[in-house]
Amino acid sequence: MADNAKQTSADDFTPIAGADRAKLDDEKIATPSLTFLQDSWRRLRKNKAAMIALVLLIILFILAFFSFIFETHNPNATNPNLANLPPKIPGIDINGFNGTIEQSGERINAYAQAHAGNHFYILGTDYLGRDLFSRILYGTRISLEIALIASFFDLAFGVVYGITSGWIGGRVDTLMQRIIEIMLSIPNLVVMVLLILVLKPGMTAIILSIAITSWINMARLVRAQTLELKNQEFILAARTLGESSWKIAFKHLLPNLSSVIIINLMFTIPTAIFFEAFLSYIGIGISAPQASLGTLINDGQKNFQFLPYQMWYPAIVLSVLMIAFNILGDGLRDALDPKSRE
Amino acid sequence: MKINSLAKLGGVVLVTGLILAGCGSKSSQSKKQEINWSTPAAISTMDTSKMIDLYSAQVANGTNEGLLRMAKNNKANPGVAKSYSVSKDGLTWTFNLRHSKWNNGDPVTAKDFVFSWQRTVKPKTASQYAYIFANIKNAAKINAGKMSPSKLGVKAEGNYKFVVTLNKAQSYFKYMVTQPEFFPQNSKTVSKYGNDYATNSTKNSYNGPFILKGWNGTNDTWKLVKNTKYWNAKDVKVKTINFQAVKTPSTGLNSFNSNKLDYTTLSGTLAANNKKNKAYTVFPQASTSYLEFNQKKIKALRNVNIRKAMALAIDKKQMVNKVMQGGDITPKGFVPASMAKHNGKDFASQAYVKAGTDYDLKEAKALFAKGLKQEGKKSLSLSLLGSDDDDSKRSSEFIQSQLEKLPGLKITVQSIPFKSKLSRSESQQFDLVTSAWIADYPDPSNFLDLMTSNNSYNDGKWSNKQYDALIKKSESTDANNETARWNDMVAAEKILMQDQGIVPLYQQGQAALVRSSVKGVQAFTTSPQYDFSKAYVK
Amino acid sequence: MAKYLGKRIFYIILTLFIVTTITFFLMKLMPGTPLTNQAKLTPTQIHQIYKQYGLDKPVWQQYLVYLGGVIHGNFGTSFQFSNQPVSYLISSRLGPSLIIGGQGMVLGVLAGLIVGAVGAIKANTWVDTSATIISILFISIPSFVLAVLLQYYLGLKLRLFPIADWGGFMYTVLPTLALAASPLAETARFMRTEMVDVLSSDYIELAKAKGLNKVGIIYHHALRNSLIPVVTIIGPLAVNIMTGSMVVENIFSIPGIGEQFVKSILTNDYPTIMGLTIVYSAMLCVVLLITDIVYGLIDPRIRINK
């Protein structure tokens, strides 16, 4: 075999024809070169639960932000004669969806009692006869807006702050930590309450106060992780090889921080929604007649014993939202974590 | 007394229909003569000179007693005073006190009343309710720091005769002395504890049917225990009343259903869903919730057509039945129905002006268009101020939706804490505001005084000379002539309603669940609203 | 160590000073006085009341007086409760809050550690999945919804525990459960992530290769190393509990400081709001100090005296 090789002539080396060129890659034993993001997306797609969560979230976002298309009634139109009607979907005769409700031990047709005629509300009405379905869509939007803005601040500010503090170290770190420590030493709810009292209750006040308080945890965790990573071999190696600090931060630190960042981000969203709901609960949140999931749950829980649907539906939407965010967060973490790369 | 609608607290009329029906309440409990009562707020102080809220006043009415004691059907029964007499000109009231004792054994004397009243009026005490003494001779001057407290028109003639001199005749003074601000104070106890006086249950003296126990100044539970030194202790049957401050009505309802409470208040949907419950009871109140127009700040609101249009656009019947859903009733006017009677006729019926409380959207639209034209405006944008408790929020949202049915009217709702609302109302920082007033004593003047031009509670600054003149007449020339005074007041109320100075929204009533085994709790439509001295458990 | 402690305590005092200052001036920005019937009071009386509350002096003097008071544990007089010092108001209500808060924290963290650790050890099995579902559910349900559900089902329907009120251990069960949910979920999630990382690390592989038994590995190496980062979230968890307690105490009618805080907000009782803000901050400072010390003790890589 080896001897024969010497006998090859120039003719043996004909250039590959155009059609055959494509087959060249067949010989390669390598995955296609993917960017970090492409690679993560590929792995995320494999995670069924995360994909379901993503689809759910997309649906919820569309429903919420285009609620004016889907809502069956004006979310703020009152009709006290049709107040507190249970859910009714025409054609479905299952308790809970047929417009009947338990009252002092017996089931009565609430729609007939209220002379509702042809009106029907698929998730029922609230204490002023407003359509609960439309209000939930509307409320979801408000809650999402608040949560997204809070998360944006969390990311934009918290991560940069954390990396800077941990990476530079020394006096800068000490100073930055002192600032964080002072902010952390006031429970953020108290900060929010104080801010809202000064700014007067309303959407802007809530967003501002959540924004001001939400980035701290992220910054702290990112810093802790940075400190830990800073002394690890691969960072030291990169340093020794003379990589610039910025490059190290983005290329080496950030991917390794992603799990912490994403987990924490996934905590921020429910936390932000929770705080909004909480502020509404104690009476300084979103003001009437606006609604958020928080105010809806609040209104509903007062009558939970008699009109359970008024709390259950907004609570379910809120929980689905949260669960979806959480599962997607988990999926993203697995996908983004360099250590789990195949 | 300005009230928060959250602060609605009913007395208890034990409706006669509610006999024995008992939903399985244990008989062993019944024998214990123990009642579990709920209240929406903790006691803020037990110092009667500093009391400003209903709930503290209610507790004080159990633990202490004034010259007279409020009883059913607007009666002022003998209390510490066995009897009293009024001079012909109505200015001098003489009370003959009985020999009764404080719980520490000291006798209750006329000097205790003199001490207490002087203490409340003198500026140093900084009593926020001192103005209620204004009709007592020299009180205003003392209160302003211009005269010595000893000059107050009260006198102890010996230990058991107490003489009061008034500025003007005041037929309802007998009701005023049933109120906590007029209770006696034990001077020894007050000086012993100084600044700490009445800041907890032990640093106080009691002369009423019960003694306060277990109140540490800030807690949410306390007890009224029978006072064996009370002069009428033999008639006090109940041994203990456990009070529990319940923060949310649904928690109260749950506690009631598990037999931890014998009384809990309801509103809104909770009330609607309990209407068939045998324990469901409504306690009417001499209290009106009403809408005020800021006529000082907003020029358009000085237009009577616009005011009338807004009044007619609000469906009060729907508001009461479908929105508030509790014990509230549709209003007849500003002065609540069944509060004051003269010659068997109810004030509110006599002064009834249909247009003032009616609902007619068509007429409202026409009037509103007319009003806007007169003002040269195309539209009007107003904010509606209300407090931030559930009931107020609900009523604000409802009023908003009703008023916005008037073409060209835009309403934004602002809900803020009760106290902030109060201070903003008083300083005219609002366009529209919902207010509520509960009578301190069952006399129409208690309401009508509010709407005189210079009254500080006339938040909207509605002003009508004829009205002012009638009220003044009722307090001066006609003060000692029952019928003339009554007619003045009826005429005044009619003017108020015809001019739509305010819009009455509903007359408040407290819906509650009361355990059927609890009997004999007396309820009044005015403060202090209920009295346990004759209560018992069967 | 002593030097470190001294330094930290100095910073805590600095923090509290800043908190006090900011809160004081924020509160001064707000309208509201102890007066209820302002319109009905004579000027002499108003002056008298202002004097009683120290409001007759210029703001900077009020500030110095307040600061001096705070050093001595005096937070002024409540607007809401006549003649009642704020410090007494807080101290008389601190107990119930600490009890349910402490119980909720301990229960939440312990249960969370177990759920998280089990999930990690049995990673990618049904055990892990159910552990994840539990933590996701608990994180998704707001504490006040949970509190309402607990009160209704365990309290009213099953009559297992008292519905509301305060008076012994049984009364603390439902509020504790309501408070424990969120720390449980957060701890479990955090613990699981950390432990999965640790379990797949080289030194665990090495230990396995050396033939150490599994229990030993988990106990000596994995658990200990996973616990370290968990310590960092104790502070935020404490905040969670404080926040949660405000609604939970309201729903269960518990005479604690959380309930008082909400009430003070609604009644504009500024001295109490200020006092509680400082107390909350002080409690949090202490929790953070303790966690940092613990963090330093268990993680040799972080030198606290650096």
The more confident residue out of A36 and B221 is: B221
Q: Does residue A126 form part of some domain?
A: no
pLDDT value of position A34: 66
pLDDT value of position B187: 93
Q: Would you say residue A255 has pLDDT above 70?
A: yes
Chain-wide mean pLDDT for chain B? Answer: 88
Amino acid code (one letter) for C101: G
Whether pTM > 0.90 for this model: the answer is no
pLDDT value of position B491: 95
Evaluated on CA atoms A128, A131, A136, A139, the torsion sign reads negative
pLDDT value of position B59: 94
Residues whose CB is less than 8 angstroms from the CB of residue C96 and which lie 6 or more positions away in sequence, other chains included: C166, C249, C254, C255, C256
Q: What is the mean pLDDT of residues B179-195?
A: 93
Q: Would you say residue C304 has pLDDT above 60?
A: no
In this structure, what are the phi and psi dihedrals at residue B157, rounded to the nearest 5 degrees? Answer: -95, 95
pLDDT value of position A25: 62
Q: Would you say residue B8 has pLDDT above 60?
A: no
The more confident residue out of A262 and C261 is: C261
Expressed in angstroms, the distance from the first to the final Cα of chain A is: 38
pLDDT value of position A190: 79
Q: Report the gap between the CA of A224 and the closest CA in chain B (Å).
A: 42
Cβ contact (<8 Å) for C284 and A333?
no
Nearest to A186 among C19, C247, C266 (CB): C19
- Closest Cα to residue B69, out of B524, B536, B395, B535? B524
Q: What is the mean pLDDT of residues A14-36?
A: 65
Question: How many whole angstroms from its chain centre is CA A162?
Answer: 21
Look up tokens 């009037």; give the residue. B367
Question: How many whole angstroms from its chain centre is CA C186?
Answer: 14
> CA-to-CA distance for C96 and A281, rounded, in angstroms?
22
Among residues of chain B, what percentage have pLDDT more than 90? Answer: 62
Q: Would you say residue B370 has pLDDT above 70?
A: yes
Q: Would you say residue A192 has pLDDT above 50?
A: yes
Tell me if C75 sits within 8 A of C69, measured CB to CB: yes
Q: Would you say residue A194 has pLDDT above 70?
A: yes
- Closest Cα to residue A35, out of A280, A339, A336, A275? A336
Q: What would the two tokens of residue C214 be? A: 């599994």
pLDDT value of position C267: 78
pLDDT value of position C31: 67
- Judged by DSSP in three states, B347 sits in helix
Q: Give the least confident one: C28-37, C74-83, C139-148.
A: C28-37
Q: What would the two tokens of residue C192 be? A: 């699981």
Domain span at A322: 38-74+131-336
Among residues of chain B, what percentage have pLDDT more than 70? Answer: 94
CATH of the domain at A285: 1.10.3720.10
- Closest Cα to residue A245, out of A172, A341, A155? A172
In this structure, what are the phi and psi dihedrals at residue B432, rounded to the nearest 5 degrees? Answer: -130, 145
Q: Does B420 touch chain A (CB under 8 A)?
A: no
- Judged by DSSP in three states, B414 sits in strand
Cβ contact (<8 Å) for B250 and A304?
yes
> CA-to-CA distance for A302 and B272, rounded, in angstroms?
13
Tens of pLDDT along C52-62?
888 888 888 99
Count of structural domains, chain A: 2
Task: Tell the burial category of A27 from Cβ atoms under 10 Å away from its Cβ (0-12, 13-18, 19+).
Answer: exposed
Q: Does C246 touch chain A (CB under 8 A)?
A: yes
pLDDT value of position B476: 87
Cβ contact (<8 Å) for B398 and A78?
yes
Tell me if B383 sits within 8 A of B413, measured CB to CB: yes
A105/A203 same-domain check: no
Q: Report the gap between the CA of A158 and the closest CA in chain B (Å).
A: 33
Q: Does residue A280 form part of some domain?
A: yes
Tell me which H or E stretch contains B74.
none
Tens of pLDDT along C185-198?
989 988 988 888 88
Q: What is the mean pLDDT of residues B371-394?
A: 89
Q: What would the two tokens of residue B145 be? A: 């720091």
A301/A247 same-domain check: yes
Q: What would the two tokens of residue B396 be? A: 């604000």
List of chain A residues whose C-beta atoms are within 8 Å of the C-beta of residue C239: 187-189
Provide the pLDDT confidence category of residue B528 given band limits of 50, 70 and 90. confident
Nearest to C247 among A178, A270, A281 (CB): A281
pLDDT value of position B2: 60
Tell me if B294 sits within 8 A of B417, measured CB to CB: no
pLDDT value of position B292: 95
Q: Would you say residue B30 has pLDDT above 50?
A: no
| CATH classification (class only), B285-509 | alpha beta
- The residues in B 235-274 lying below 8 A from A, measured between CB atoms, are 248-250, 253-254, 268-270, 272-273
Tell me if B476 sits within 8 A of B314, measured CB to CB: no
Q: Does residue A262 form part of some domain?
A: yes
Exposure on the CB side of residue C228, measured as CA atoms within 13 A: 17
> CA-to-CA distance for B492 and B468, rounded, in angstroms?
8
Q: Would you say residue B501 has pLDDT above 70?
A: yes
Q: What is the mean pLDDT of residues A51-65?
A: 91
Tell me if A89 sits within 8 A of A120, measured CB to CB: yes
> CA-to-CA distance for B120 and B183, rounded, in angstroms?
10
List of chain C residues whose C-beta atoms are within 8 Å of the C-beta of residue B457: 39
Is there a common fold for B41-244 and B285-509?
no
Burial A38-66 (b: 16+ CB within 10 A, else e): ebbeebbeebeebeebbebbeebeebbee
Which of A326-335, B361-370, B454-463, C78-87 is most confident?
A: B361-370
Domain C94-302 has CATH 1.10.3720.10: yes
Q: Give the least confident one: A93-102, B134-143, B512-521.
A: A93-102
Provide the pLDDT confidence category of residue B416 given band limits of 50, 70 and 90. confident
Q: Would you say residue A319 has pLDDT above 60?
A: yes
Apex C269 CA angle, C267 and C272, nearest 5: 135
Q: What is the mean pLDDT of residues C228-244?
A: 83
pLDDT value of position B28: 41
Hey, which chains touch B, using 3+ CB pairs under 8 Å? A, C
A205/A287 same-domain check: yes
Q: Give the least confident one: A13-22, B382-391, C179-188.
A: A13-22
Q: Report the gap between the CA of B15 and the closest CA in chain C (Å).
A: 28
Q: Report the gap between the CA of A77 and the closest CA in chain B (Å).
A: 7
Evaluated on CA atoms C53, C58, C61, C63, the torsion sign reads positive
Q: Report the gap between the CA of A71 and the closest CA in chain C (Å).
A: 25
Q: Give the least confident one: A2-11, A59-68, C140-149, C249-258.
A: A2-11
Q: Would you say residue B373 has pLDDT above 70?
A: yes
Provide the pLDDT confidence category of residue A30 given band limits of 50, 70 and 90. low
A60/A93 same-domain check: no
Beta strands per DSSP E along B306-379: 341-342, 345-346
A109/A231 same-domain check: no
Q: Would you say residue B29 has pLDDT above 50?
A: no
Q: Would you say residue B31 has pLDDT above 70?
A: no
Q: What would the two tokens of residue B187 be? A: 């001077």
Q: Would you say residue B1 has pLDDT above 60?
A: no
Tell me if B242 sits within 8 A of B260, measured CB to CB: no
Provide the pLDDT confidence category of residue A288 given band limits of 50, 70 and 90. low
- Judged by DSSP in three states, B291 sits in strand
pLDDT value of position A3: 57
pLDDT value of position A5: 55
Q: What would the two tokens of residue B228 be? A: 């064996």
> CA-to-CA distance for A34 and B177, rounded, in angstroms?
89
Q: What is the mean pLDDT of residues B208-231?
A: 93
The more confident residue out of C106 and B10 is: C106
pLDDT value of position A182: 77
Mutate to test the interface with A, among C243, C257, C260, C264 (most CBs of A within 10 A): C243
Q: Does B217 touch chain C (CB under 8 A)?
A: yes
Tell me which H or E stretch contains B93.
strand B92-97
- Judged by DSSP in three states, B136 sits in strand
Number of A to C CB contacts under 8 A, please give it: 132
> CA-to-CA distance for A48 and A162, rounded, in angstroms?
33
Cβ contact (<8 Å) for C166 and B220?
yes
CA dihedral C124, C130, C131, C133 (to 10 degrees): 110
Beta strands per DSSP E along chain A: 100-103, 106-109
DSSP secondary structure string for all residues of C63-81: HHHHHHHHHTT---B-SSS
The third-level CATH classification (topology) of the domain covering B41-244 is: Dipeptide-binding Protein; domain 1 (3.90.76)
- Report how far apart, in Å, the C-alpha atoms of B294 and of each of A153, B348, B360, B502 are: 42, 25, 23, 10
Q: Give the least confident one: A267-271, A275-279, B46-50, B455-459.
A: A267-271
Q: Does A201 touch chain B (CB under 8 A)?
A: yes
Apex C108 CA angle, C107 and C114, nearest 5: 90
List of chain C residues whose C-beta atoms are within 8 Å of the C-beta of residue B45: 81-84
Cβ contact (<8 Å) for A304 and B398?
no
> CA-to-CA distance for C28 and C19, rounded, in angstroms?
14
Residues whose CB is less than 8 angstroms from the CB of residue A168 and which lie 6 or more positions away in sequence, other chains included: none
Look up tokens 């429910």; give the residue. A270
pLDDT value of position C104: 95
A236/A307 same-domain check: yes
Q: Does C239 touch chain A (CB under 8 A)?
A: yes
For chain B, give every domain's residue range. Answer: 41-244, 285-509
Q: Report the gap between the CA of B407 and the closest CA in chain C (Å).
A: 35
> CA-to-CA distance for A132 and A314, rounded, in angstroms?
9
Beta bridge partners of B413: B384
DSSP secondary structure string for all residues of C3-54: HHHHHHHHHHHHHHHHHHHHHHHHHHHS---S-SSGGGS-HHHHHHHHHHTT
pLDDT value of position A102: 76
Among residues of chain C, what percentage have pLDDT more than 70? Answer: 95
Evaluated on CA atoms A304, A308, A310, A311, the torsion sign reads positive
Provide the pLDDT confidence category of residue C111 given band limits of 50, 70 and 90. very high
> CA-to-CA distance for C266 and A284, rounded, in angstroms?
9
A110/A190 same-domain check: no
pLDDT value of position A18: 66
Chain-wide mean pLDDT for chain A? Answer: 79
A236/A106 same-domain check: no
- Closest Cα to residue C136, out of B488, B390, A38, A266? A266
Amino acid code (one letter) for B260: K
Q: Does residue A303 form part of some domain?
A: yes
Q: What would the two tokens of residue B506 be? A: 């509903």
DSSP secondary structure string for all residues of B469-492: HHHHHHHTTTTT-HHHHHHHHHHH
Q: Does residue A203 form part of some domain?
A: yes
> CA-to-CA distance for B140 and B142, rounded, in angstroms?
5
Q: Would you say residue B215 has pLDDT above 90?
A: yes
Taking only Cα atoms into account, the Rg of chain B, rounded to an integer number of angstroms, comes to 24
Q: Would you say residue B222 has pLDDT above 80?
A: yes
